[in-house]
Amino acid sequence: MKLLIATVLGVFLTQALANDNININNSGNDGGNVNQQVNINNQDNVANINNWNGWNSWDSMCDYAKGFAATRLYNKKICVVTRIKPSFPTMEQLSAIAKSKKVPTNNQLVTYTINQKPIVHIEEYGKHIESLCRGMPAYTAQEMPSSARGYAVCCSSSIITILGINLCF
């Protein structure tokens, strides 16, 4: 009986602590190549998304345990931190999106506006976000109400489509 309980418990713990590593390769209409990699660490409750697209590359860290997500935008040379809200995909949704390779469409994107005041103490957002944003200016971003989304100058909708995010400056 103890062996059966240990086996069942081991199966459930293995699934709960499992990691997902998903690679997505896309060829653009102009013949360019975009490569995305999604790494989900269920034990630490974090997800790391890398998007390699030349100068338009970015990296995101979603720290679900701390309740914050950050994106390092290489072409802007900044890091943007936001709170994970209910509109933000869960780790399970992110895994499903990455596995299906179907990113949200433009009308499914949630728009965030970037505050102009830089973050002074990035370490307050946790060690994962601190390591992503260390050495570059970091700013917070707030979700925009849907009624105000048409008034901001936004980055290309392809910036962080796997998370369903559109950043506005």
Tens of pLDDT, residue by residue over 50-95, are: 888 888 888 999 999 999 999 999 888 999 999 998 878 888 888 7
CA angle centred on 81, ends 105 and 32, rounded to 5°? 45
Q: Which of 31-40, 72-81, 95-104 has the highest mean pLDDT?
A: 72-81
Residues 6 or more apart whose Cβ sits within 8 Å of residue 103: 97, 161, 162, 164
- Checking if the pLDDT of 153 tops 60, the result is no
Please give the model's pTM, rounded to 2 decimal places: 0.74
Name residue 166's beta-bridge partners: 111
Q: Measured between alpha carbons, how far is residue 114 from residues 34, 71, 80 in Å?
A: 25, 12, 7
